Structures are given as structure tokens and as C-alpha cells.
Chain A
Amino acid sequence: MKSIQQLGDFFIFSWQAFAAMFRGGFDRRNWRLLIPQLYEVGYRSLPVILITGAFVGMVIAVQAVEQFRAMGLEERMGTLVNLSVVRELGPVLAGIMLAGRIGGALTAELGTMNVTEQIDALRSMGVNPMRYLVAPRVLACTVLTPTLTFFADFTGAAGGWFVSVVVEGVPAGPYWDFTQQSVTNFDLYSGIFKSVFFGAALGLIACFCGFNCRPGASGVGKACTTSFVISFIAILAIDFVLAQILQDIQLSIYGFQPVL
């Protein structure tokens, strides 16, 4: 019962956040609020995102190379590695990485502001915390998660190439030729498309948990844990639903295309 009520509260919160975003977007004074968030979410996340992407690509290649070699298909490795990276693992793991790094930090920041009455102080001064705090954070997450996913895809492909071609000696020419044949723009953009939703979800969930944080240090800690766990599950659930929809769209446009 309580959780249904909270779900309702969350949707009202999300609605208010988007309303504040669109209304506030026309006022130039609000833009200065966005810049520090873009810096924090985007620039400061870049290193971990690059590392995450690289390891994802490398580990797929390591796992796959022996199986492919046994079947004599090692030249087609690029298809598996790059398709997995851009369609699924790049966006999802980048999203989860950001849920941990950004989501946790946002919840802790807003939670602390909440328990020290700073959010009440904003409201008492006639400033809408949705516009001042939530909108720039959610917007930064929504815009930059897909951008960072591009980077994760890039290092993922590089990591896969490194293990397959440099370490395992798969010939580079066919590796990239087969990749080019099988990985389409649709695959790349479907991954990026999904990550827009991951970003919005993790931003909204993090802000919501911070705003509904219970008092005290333990309250903030608990809110951070809740925020991460819910973001994690939300990302996987959204991924499942969107993967299904995108698959159907791809099939209806291009028909079935065997990739291997």
C-alpha cells in the first residue's frame, strides 16, 4: 500500500520536474544552474565511463575468442563483440555506472540539503526547488548519459579490438569488415536511445530519494542505497521493455537479418 503511494508520489514528482524543466528552459537565468551539473555529471564521469566501456569490450572478447576459434569463426568475432557493446552492454553498464556515481552523489547532496532544512529554506524564500535543484540535475543526466554512452561504446569497441586483434591475433581486416557488415546504425542508435531513458530515470530517482530522505546521517545513507538499488532495477526493466520494442521496430523495417 505504502509503495503504491510512493510510486504515485514519484510520478507526480517526475511530472513537476519536467514541467519545471520546460518552463524554466526559456529563462536564461536558469542556464547558469545547469553548467555546474553538466560539469559534474559529464566531465567528471568521463574517466570511469571510459574504463567501464573498455573492460566490457575486453571481457566479451576474452570469453568469446576460444569458442569462435574452435568453430573456425574467429574472423567474425567483431560482430559479436561490437554488437553486444553498442546494443546492450555499453548503454546498460554506463547507465549503472552513472547510477552509482551520479545517483549516489545527487541523493546524498539533496538528502543532506533536505535534512538540514535547506530545501525548506529555498521554498520559504519563494524559490521553487523543482526549478532550482531538480530540473538542472535531471536535465544534465538525461542529456549526458547518452553522450557518455557514446564514449563507453567507443572504448568498448577499442577494448574488444585490443583483446581480439592485438592479444589473440585475430586478423584485423576481416574483424572490421564483418563488424561493418553486421553492426548497423540502427544498432548503435537503439543503444543510445535507450540510454536517454536510463539517464532520465536515474536522475529522477536520485532526486526523488534525496527529497524524501529521512532525518539524520543514517537517513541520508539509506536514501543513497535505495536510490542506487531502484535505479539499477529501473535501468534493467526499462532496458527489457525498450529492447523488445526496438527489436520489433527493427524487424518490421529491415526483416530478420542473421548477423553471424
Chain B
Amino acid sequence: MPPYDPPLIELKHVSKRFGKLVVLDDLSLSLNRGETTVVIGESGTGKSVMLKHIVGLIRPDEGEVWFDGQRIDQLPERDLVPIRKRMGFLFQMAALFDSLTVGENVAFPLTEHSKFDQAKIDEIASEKLRMVGLDGLQERRPGQISGGQKKRVALARAIALDPEVVFYDEPTTGLDPVRADVINELILKLKRELSVTSLVVTHDMVSAFKVGDRVVMLDRGKIIADHKPDWFKTCDDPRVRRFVDGKAGPEDLEALEND
């Protein structure tokens, strides 16, 4: 028997409400080291909210969040810093700092958290930018580059501190299919070269099948499916089927008829 390897990240019975709206409903999920888990589901089913719970940006109403054997959902912000340094977060809208150049954005986590001198920081920043294929754009402002480039810069920033786990919040949304595939390849490359644990939130099935070792489907704050990607290609649960095939459901069509 292999030695017991606890999951890197664990959500235990997490519930979250915003006002009267239940976003996460007694959700439990654990992520294994080195694995890429993809979370799919319609917009508004709590995917991003779940992601933000793991980084401590949102606190659960009930339940627990564990990271590497430590409970983190009740830690004060200051004690979360060492944990957050081990995580990289790629935001849906890239969230680059407008006031800084591309180079400064990528160097930001290093400037804040490392003891390196400026030359070393610049060297690491351009190495990370080279990984996403954008070395040389250091002097540009975030407003001067395209949406796809922004996401790649944001990814370079997310991996600046060589995190153990990277969270991707809809990494391919809003990109053309070619750019989207560049991002997918990057996710695979990071896993290969840095052996990071990844959690990808998306509703892009092409991406989910390509990068996922395991796919979890959320619906109304609950997990309704948790399997290998291949299972989703053949499964016949109507809710899963509709999402995977990208078909509107009967109630959606009915709503259109009544207009």
C-alpha cells in the first residue's frame, strides 16, 4: 500500500449564501497533488465562488477549507500570506495592475515577497514571460496589449513565485479558439515542467477535455458529477449531456416560446 498522501486542498461541507441566494450548498471536494482538476458548470453555479474560498478571498458560512493539512478558512489575512505565496491565481479578467507595466506586473509578487535584488527579479520576470511566449513586452502597459496577451501575462505573474498550485478562473473565456488553445497548452506545460497542482474553472468543454485529469460538474452549488474526462463523453445524465453538448434545456426553450 502506498503511504497515505493527504489531498493538497480539501473543501469540507462548505456552504455560502449571498443574501437569500445559496451559492454553495454543502460542497465537499478534495484535490490531489499533481493533478489537474477541471470544474465545469453553467454560469452562476458557484464555480468562481468556490475558487475564491480556497484562496481565502471569500469565507464560508459553514464548513471548512484545508490546505496541506492546515485549516485556513478562519485564518486572519496576515496568516494567509505564507499560504497564498504557494498559490497562483489567474483571474477571469486577468486583473493586471493598470498602473504598472507588463514587466512590473510579472515582477510584482517577487518585489513584494522575495529578497532578490532588482536584476535577479527582472531576470525571473523575463524567464516567466518567455514561458508564456511574451518576453520583450516588459515595457508595455496592460492597456496596450490584447486580451489573450493579458491572460498570458497574468499567468506569468501567477507563476512568478513558483507556486505549488495554480487556480485558473475561466482561462479561455473570451479568447478565439487558437488563443484558447495556446492557454490550454500553457496549462499542460506548467504541469509538465513545474509539476503544479491545478484547478481550472471553465465552461469551455474543449479545454476541459484537453487539460483535465478529472472533471467535476457543479450545478446550483452542488457537485453532480465527478469523473475522468472520458466519462463525460459517454454519460447519459440529461443535465450533464446538455452542458457537454452545449444544448439549451427544455425549460430554457419554453421560456423563449412564451415571450
Q: Which residues of A contact B (CB under 8 A)?
A: 112-113, 116-118, 120-121, 123-128
Bound form: Cα–Cα A116–B143 in Å: 13
For residue B169, which residue of chain A has the nearest CB?
A: A117
Contact B112 A126 (CB under 8 A): yes
> Could you say which of B57, B80, B81, B113 contacts A120, with CB atoms under 8 Å apart?
B57
In the assembled complex, the CB of B116 is this many whole angstroms from the nearest CB of chain A, namely 13
Contact A125 B112 (CB under 8 A): yes
Which residues of chain B are within 8 angstroms of A118 by Cβ–Cβ distance?
95-98
Contact B84 A120 (CB under 8 A): no
Contact A126 B95 (CB under 8 A): no
Indicate if B109 sits at the interface (CB-CB under 8 A): yes
Beyond known contacts A117-B92, A126-B112, A127-B112: 9 more, CB 8 A cutoff: A116-B95, A117-B95, A118-B98, A123-B77, A124-B55, A124-B57, A125-B89, A125-B108, A125-B157
For residue A123, which residue of chain B has the nearest CB?
A: B57
Indicate if B87 sits at the interface (CB-CB under 8 A): yes
Bound form: Cα–Cα A112–B92 in Å: 15
In the assembled complex, the CB of B95 is this many whole angstroms from the nearest CB of chain A, namely 4
> Could you say which of A113, A117, A121, A126 contacts B81, with CB atoms under 8 Å apart?
A126
Q: Which residues of B contact A (CB under 8 A)?
A: 52, 55-57, 77-78, 80-82, 84-85, 87, 89, 91-93, 95-98, 108-109, 112-113, 157
Contact B93 A125 (CB under 8 A): no
Which residues of chain A are within 8 angstroms of B93 by Cβ–Cβ distance?
116-117
Contact A124 B77 (CB under 8 A): no
Which residues of chain B are within 8 angstroms of A120 by Cβ–Cβ distance?
52, 57, 91, 95
For residue A127, which residue of chain B has the nearest CB?
A: B112
For residue B78, which residue of chain A has the nearest CB?
A: A128
In the assembled complex, the CB of B57 is this many whole angstroms from the nearest CB of chain A, namely 5
For residue A130, which residue of chain B has the nearest CB?
A: B77
In the assembled complex, the CB of B8 is this many whole angstroms from the nearest CB of chain A, namely 17
Bound form: Cα–Cα A124–B55 in Å: 6
Given A126-B112, A126-B113, residue A121 in contact with residue B84 (CB < 8 A):
no
Contact B85 A121 (CB under 8 A): no
Which residues of chain A are within 8 angstroms of B112 by Cβ–Cβ distance?
125-127
In the assembled complex, the CB of B209 is this many whole angstroms from the nearest CB of chain A, namely 27
Which residues of chain B are within 8 angstroms of A127 by Cβ–Cβ distance?
112
14 A-B contact pairs sorted by A residue (CB < 8 Å): A120-B52, A120-B91, A120-B95, A121-B91, A121-B97, A123-B84, A124-B57, A124-B89, A125-B109, A125-B113, A125-B157, A126-B82, A126-B84, A127-B112
In the assembled complex, the CB of A46 is this many whole angstroms from the nearest CB of chain B, namely 22
> Could you say which of A112, A116, A117, A126 contacts B85, with CB atoms under 8 Å apart?
A126
Bound form: Cα–Cα A164–B94 in Å: 59
In the assembled complex, the CB of A129 is this many whole angstroms from the nearest CB of chain B, namely 10
Contact B108 A117 (CB under 8 A): no
Kindly name the residue among A112, A124, A128 whose own CB sees the greatest number of chain B CB atoms within 10 A.
A124
Bound form: Cα–Cα A121–B87 in Å: 12
Given A120-B52, A120-B57, residue A126 in contact with residue B80 (CB < 8 A):
yes
Which residues of chain B are within 8 angstroms of A126 by Cβ–Cβ distance?
80-82, 84-85, 109, 112-113
Contact A128 B77 (CB under 8 A): yes
Which residues of chain B are within 8 angstroms of A113 by Cβ–Cβ distance?
97-98
In the assembled complex, the CB of A133 is this many whole angstroms from the nearest CB of chain B, namely 10
Given A120-B52, A120-B57, residue A125 in contact with residue B95 (CB < 8 A):
no
Bound form: Cα–Cα A112–B99 in Å: 12
Bound form: Cα–Cα A120–B97 in Å: 11
Contact A124 B87 (CB under 8 A): yes
> Could you say which of A112, A116, A124 contacts B84, with CB atoms under 8 Å apart?
A124
Which residues of chain B are within 8 angstroms of A116 by Cβ–Cβ distance?
93, 95
Which residues of chain B are within 8 angstroms of A124 by Cβ–Cβ distance?
55, 57, 84, 87, 89, 91
In the assembled complex, the CB of A32 is this many whole angstroms from the nearest CB of chain B, namely 10
For residue A112, which residue of chain B has the nearest CB?
A: B98
In the assembled complex, the CB of B204 is this many whole angstroms from the nearest CB of chain A, namely 19
For residue A129, which residue of chain B has the nearest CB?
A: B77
Bound form: Cα–Cα A125–B154 in Å: 12
Bound form: Cα–Cα A124–B88 in Å: 8
Bound form: Cα–Cα A121–B96 in Å: 8
For residue A121, which residue of chain B has the nearest CB?
A: B95
Which residues of chain A are within 8 angstroms of B87 by Cβ–Cβ distance?
124
In the assembled complex, the CB of B110 is this many whole angstroms from the nearest CB of chain A, namely 10
Kindly name the residue among A112, A113, A123, A128 whose own CB sees the greatest number of chain B CB atoms within 10 A.
A123
For residue A124, which residue of chain B has the nearest CB?
A: B89
> Could you say which of A112, A117, A128 contacts B91, with CB atoms under 8 Å apart?
A117
